[in-house]
Structure 1
Amino acid sequence: MSVEQVPAAGQQVDELVAGWAETTPSAEAIVCGVERITYGELGRLVETEAGRLGSMGLPPGGLVGVALDRPVAALAVMLGVLRAGGAYLPLDPAMPRAELHRVLGDADPYVVLTRELYRVAAEDRPDRRVVCVDAEADPAEETGRGAPAGRGAAACLLLTAGTTGPAGLVPVSHQDLTAARNAWQQVYGFDARDRHVHTAPPESAEFTAGWVRALGSGGALILPDGDEPHDPGARATALGRLVATKRRRCWPAVCRPRGC
Structure 2
Amino acid sequence: MADTDCLHEAFSRRAAQSPRRVAVSCGTEQITYAELDARSTVLAERLRRCGVGRGSRVGVCVDRSICLVVTVLAVVKAGAAYVPVDPENPAGRVAHVLSDSEVALTVAAIRTADALADWSGPVLWSDADESDDPTAVEAPSEAAEPSDVAYVIYTSGSTGAPKGVEVEHRSAVALLERAGELYEFDELDVWTMFHSVGFDFSVWEMWGALLFGCKLVVVPAQVTRTPALMLDLLRRERVTVLSQTPSAFRGLVAADAAAGPPAELSLRLVVFGGERLDVAVLAPWIGRRGDSSPVLVNMYGITEITVHATHRRITAADLEHPSVSPIGVALPGLRVEPRTADGRPVPDGEPGELFVAGTGVARGYLNRPELTAQRFVVLDGQRWYRSGDSAALVDGELVYLGRVDRQLKVRGYRVEPGEVEARLLSCARVGTALVTARDFGDGDVRLVAYVAPPPAPDPVAPTEAELTAAVADLPGYLRPSRFHVVDDIPVTAQGKADVDALVALTETRPATVAAHTAADPTATAVKAIVDEVLVRDVPVDGDLFDHGATSLSLARVIAMVNNRFDLALTGAELEEPTIACLSDVVGSTRRPGALQEVGG
Q: TM-score, normalised by structure 1?
A: 0.80
Aligned mate of 2:110, from 108, 116, 130: 116
Query: What is the match of residue 123 of structure 2?
Result: 130
Does the alignment pair 1:18 with 2:8?
no
Question: How many Å separate the matches in 2 of 1:30 and 1:213?
Answer: 12
The letter for the 2-side match of 1:241 is: D
Q: Distance in 1 between matches of 2:119 and 2:26?
A: 35
Question: Does the aligned pair in 2 maintain the 1:158–1:170 contact within 8 Å?
Answer: yes
Deviations 1:107-142 (A, max 9, x none): 01000111234435426454x111222233489xxx
The ranges of structure 1 where at least 4 consecutive aligned residues each deviate by more than 6 angstroms after the TM superposition are none
Q: Distance in 1 between matches of 2:87 and 2:61?
A: 5
> Structure 2 CA distance, aligned partners of 1:39 and 1:89?
24
Residue 151 of structure 1 aligns to a residue in which SS?
Answer: coil
Query: Aligned pair in 2 of structure 1 residues 202, 214: CA closer, same or farther (>3 Å)?
Result: same
Sort the Cα spacing of 1:104 and 1:36 in 2 relative to 1 into closer, same or farther, 3 A.
closer
Q: Check if 1:159 corresponds to 2:159.
A: no
Q: Which protein has the larger Cα radius of gyration, Structure 1 or Structure 2?
A: 2
In structure 2, the partner of 1:249 is 266
- Please state how far the C-alpha of 1:252 moved relative to its aligned partner: 3.1
The 1:230/1:248 distance shift into structure 2, 3 A limit, reads closer
Alpha-carbon distance change, 26 to 117 in structure 1, aligned in 2, over 3 angstroms: closer
Q: Output the CA distance in 2 between the equivalents of 1:181 and 1:125.
A: 34
SS at match of 2:270: coil
Q: CA RMSD in A?
A: 2.8
| Uncovered stretches (5+) of structure 1, i.e. residues with no partner | 1-8, 140-147
Residue correspondence of structure 1 range 1-260 to structure 2 within 5 A: 10-119=4-113, 121-122=115-116, 124=118, 126=120, 128-137=121-130, 148-151=141-144, 153-162=148-157, 165-224=160-219, 226=220, 229=221, 232-234=224-226, 236-245=227-236, 246=238, 248-250=265-267, 251-252=269-270
Residue 221 of structure 1: how far off its partner (Å): 1.1
Rate the CA distance shift 1:138–1:243 in 2: closer, same or farther, 3 A.
Answer: farther
Structure 1 residue 160, shift from structure 2 partner: 1.6
Structure-2 separation of matches of 1:82 and 1:16: 12
The code of the aligned residue for 1:239 comes to M
Structure 1 contact 104–124 (Cα < 8 Å) conserved: no
- Helix, strand or coil: the match of 1:89? strand
Q: Hey, what's the Cα distance between the residues in 1 that align with 2:179 and 2:119? A: 41
Q: Which runs of 5+ in 2 are unaligned?
A: 133-140, 239-263, 273-292, 295-600
Q: What amino acid is the match of 1:176?
A: S
Give the Å deviation of 1:51: 1.5
Q: Distance in 1 between matches of 2:189 and 2:143?
A: 33
Tell me the distance in 1 between the aligned counterparts of 2:183 and 2:195. 20
After superposition, the Cα gap between the structure-2 partners of 1:120 and 1:201, relative to the gap in structure 1 and judged at 3 Å, is closer
Paired residues of 1:20 and 1:218 also in contact (CA < 8 A):
yes
Residues 199 and 239 of structure 1 are in contact (CA less than 8 Å); yes or no, is this contact kept in structure 2? Answer: no
Equivalent position amino acid for 1:210 in 2? E
CA contact (8 A) 2:6 2:144 kept: no
Partner of 1:4: none
| 1:46–1:77 CA contact under 8 A, matched in 2 | yes
Alpha-carbon distance in 2 for matches of 1:31, 1:112: 24
SS in 2 for 1:181: helix
Deviation at 1:213, TM superposition (A): 1.0
**1:231, CA displacement in angstroms?**
7.0
Q: What secondary structure, in the 3-state scheme, does the structure 1 residue paired with 2:13 have?
A: helix
Measure the CA separation in 1 of the matches of 2:52 and 2:201: 26
Alignment identity in percent? 25
Query: Cα deviation per residue 1:76-129 (whole Å; 9 max; x = unaligned)?
Result: 100001111111000012312222222122101000111234435426454x11
Q: Distance in 2 between matches of 1:232 and 1:57?
A: 36
- Taking a change above 3 Å as real, the CA distance of residues 174 and 116 of structure 1, as seen in their structure-2 partners, is same
- 1: CA distance, partners of 2:179 / 2:111: 37
Change over 3 Å in CA distance of 1:99–1:36 after alignment to 2: closer
Mean Cα displacement is larger for which, 76-85 or 214-223?
A: 214-223
How many aligned positions are there? 236
Return closer, same or farther for 1:186/1:38 CA change in 2, 3 Å cut-off.
Answer: same
Give the conservation status (yes or no) of the 8 Å contact 1:193–1:219: yes
Contact 1:68 1:202 in 2 (8 A): no
Question: In structure 2, do the counterparts of structure 1 residues 231 and 220 end up closer, same or farther at CA, with 3 Å as the change threshold?
Answer: closer
Aligned amino acid, residue 233 of structure 1: R
Cα distance, 1:164 vs structure 2 = 7.8
Indicate how the Cα distance of structure 1 residues 116 and 198 shifts in structure 2: closer, same or farther if over 3 A, else same: closer
CA deviations 1:146-166 (Å, max 9, x no partner) are xx4242610000112447853
